[in-house]
Chains A and B, each alone.
Chain A
Amino acid sequence: MPQKRTKEKTTGKNRNGIKPLNAPRNIEVRVDNQGSPTSIRVPSSQNETHISVNSSLLISGHTGNNYLVSDGRWIDVSSVLDLWKINDEWWRGSEDEIARLYYRLRLSNGQQTTVYLDLVKNKWFRQAG
């Protein structure tokens, strides 16, 4: 069943002991008027509630393990190194299609990271790989 497959793939574990590598993790992102990230923050709590998109500011997600250290502080984005868009599985319908806007960012602390805006759910995620 395509929907179940998609869900297993994106939610982490399945019963056969297989976990996707580089699964997306939640991140909070502040954006400017054009929608480009200006600063990011790794959610401090695993149970952080979802905050919906505000016209100019921030977005967040649900849960996730954090490897990008931000100590709960916002980290400014120095520059956008790359920008690309993925559209896939559009045949599954508007709710299940994959539409992501990826940003490769250099942060003010020197780190590089990749984040994307899920255009279907309107949420930001961080992704390795």
Chain B
Amino acid sequence: MVSTQETTNIATPETAHASNRPPRVSRSRRFGKPVTTVKTVACLRIPHFPWQLEVARKPELGDQSLIVAGKALDLIEDQEIRETGSDALSARVVIAASPDLTDVSPGMPLAEATARHRGVQIVEADIPLYGMVFDDIVENLERLVPDIEVATPGLAYVGIWGLEGLYGDDANVVRLLASTVDSFDLRIGVGENKWLAYAASLLSRANSGRKVTGEPGKFLDKFPVDALPMPHELVKRLHSFGLKTMGHIADIPRGPMEAQFGLNGGTAWELANGIDHRPLIPKRSALGVSEHLDFPDPTVSMATILPAVESLLDRAYGRPQLSNRFARHANLQSQVFQKAPWTMRIGFKDPVGNKNKALFAIKSKLDLAEIPGPLEDMRITLSGITGEAGRQESMWLEVKRDDDLRETISQLRSRLKTAPPVYQVRELEPWSRIPERRFALVQMSGPGG
């Protein structure tokens, strides 16, 4: 059962200021702001989500101090940054830790965490699994509310404004949301923006909700800077300057914060004052078809893997969701024996509407792929499904001829692994008196792409 506790007046004896500083008022309130409808946001947080999952998978880990380790890239929320990830994002960091390791936080370099806790158990992060389990949770939530933003596995923001007519007040909405998650320790926070909702969730007890209704400045005053959704390095620097709570940061004008810490310093200052302009970006529901099988024995043999892929594709294309439809991407996921899970993403050059073409593309990529160890199972997910029910051929012969040529070239490219030497004659300077400058052979497909 979920209880909601309103923090309407946060100046309780426990949280009141120890100093004589007057209660802080957020900038937006200090200077006044246009009267707009407050869009209340709920933050659903499953603390130590990867750890909870690992313990659920191997209960014997529950008694041990544990660090779930992965790459910094796995903690980045922005997909674009992930795809253009630099070397720094490949560094090994803490993804999650067991609750007893209170001084270990996500994003901390693994070396630093292990130096603090020698002999701690380290488990390789199973990011695809965390994503899949959390996707299931979000799928359940989507039946209740439409606007859900998934920040990371274990953390989601839900737009709960305008739901009074359906579900009653915020407390009822929170109860409903909590009822969809039954097997995890869930904390829910409610606030006027994402940051306040997140901060409220940090204060809420297990399977309960907390709402911020008072002055955000007062509410946040004693919050440790470690709670800021900022890079670990910045938090360390804040500590080194003696800035240990939000109140410390909010006491400083914004200018010096930005001068010292750059753009992130300005953001930290805003958050410390309860200001968060980040919009809620609802998850776009993408239709995907997923099929799974377990190998009888862990295998690295292509003679086993390829028939498995073929069988999965056969099943996937047999599903009604893919009937007369085309997929743009395929995602292969496998558990690897005694190693981190393996994933591979294949983008089809053209949307693929049948098993054979998909298998051809996947096989070409598998031939080049390095499989990290014996695969225990395989899941294939076809996504980017288009409504295109067929391929429109041109009635003009020349266009059709060009289409056919392009298709042939793309097939050749897949087979040769390089741009095929197919050229087209193009006019360059037909007026030139130098014959070799009048025309040129232009490669039909770029050499690199």
Contacts and interface: CB of A to CB of B under 8 A. Distances in A.
Interface of A: 9-10, 15-24, 86, 88, 98, 127-129
Interface string B433-449: 11111111111001100
A18 B435 contact: no
A20 B436 contact: yes
Q: How large is the interface on B (under 10, 10 to 19, 20 to 34, 35 or more residues)?
A: 10 to 19
Interface of B: 419, 423, 425, 428, 433-443, 446-447
Contact of B433 (A22, A24, A86, A127): A86
B435 A128 contact: yes
A46 to B, nearest CB: 19
A127 B436 CA distance: 8
Nearest to B444: A17
Contacts of B434: 86, 88, 98
Contact of B423 (A9, A15, A19, A127): A19
B438 A22 contact: yes
Contacts of A9: 436-437
Nearest to A24: B436
B447 A21 contact: no
Contacts of A128: 435
A18 B441 contact: yes
A20 B447 contact: no
B436 A21 contact: yes
Contacts of B441: 18-21
26 contacts: A9-B437, A10-B436, A15-B447, A16-B443, A17-B423, A17-B446, A18-B441, A19-B423, A19-B440, A19-B441, A20-B439, A20-B441, A21-B436, A21-B440, A21-B441, A22-B436, A22-B439, A86-B433, A86-B434, A88-B434, A98-B434, A127-B435, A127-B436, A128-B435, A129-B436, A129-B439
Interface of B: prevailing SS: mixed
Given A17-B419, A19-B423, A86-B433, A129 B447 contact: no
A118 to B, nearest CB: 12
A97 B447 CA distance: 32
A18 B442 contact: yes
Interface of A: prevailing SS: loop
Contacts of A10: 436
A18 B438 contact: no
A16 B441 CA distance: 11
Nearest to A86: B433
Contacts of B419: 17
Contact of B440 (A18, A24, A86): A18
Contact of A22 (B423, B435, B446): B435
8 closest Cβ contacts across the A-B interface?
Answer: A17-B443, A21-B439, A129-B435, A19-B441, A20-B436, A23-B436, A17-B447, A22-B435
Nearest to A19: B441
A103 to B, nearest CB: 14
Contacts of A21: 425, 436, 438-441
B438 A129 contact: yes
Contacts of B423: 17, 19
Nearest to A116: B435
Contacts of B439: 20-22, 129
A47 B442 CA distance: 27
Contacts of A16: 443, 446-447
Contacts of B428: 20
**Residue of A18, A24, A86 most packed against chain B (CB within 10 A):** A18
Contacts of B435: 22, 127-129
A15 B434 CA distance: 22
Nearest to A23: B436
Contacts of B447: 15-17
A19 B421 CA distance: 11
A18 B436 contact: no
Given A16-B443, A19-B441, A24-B436, 5 more contacts: A16-B446, A17-B442, A17-B447, A19-B440, A88-B434
B425 to A, nearest CB: 6
Contacts of A15: 447
A90 B425 CA distance: 29
B446 to A, nearest CB: 7
A86 B419 CA distance: 37
A59 to B, nearest CB: 19
A98 B437 CA distance: 13
Nearest to A114: B435
A98 B435 CA distance: 12
Nearest to A127: B435
Contacts of A19: 423, 440-441
A101 B291 CA distance: 71
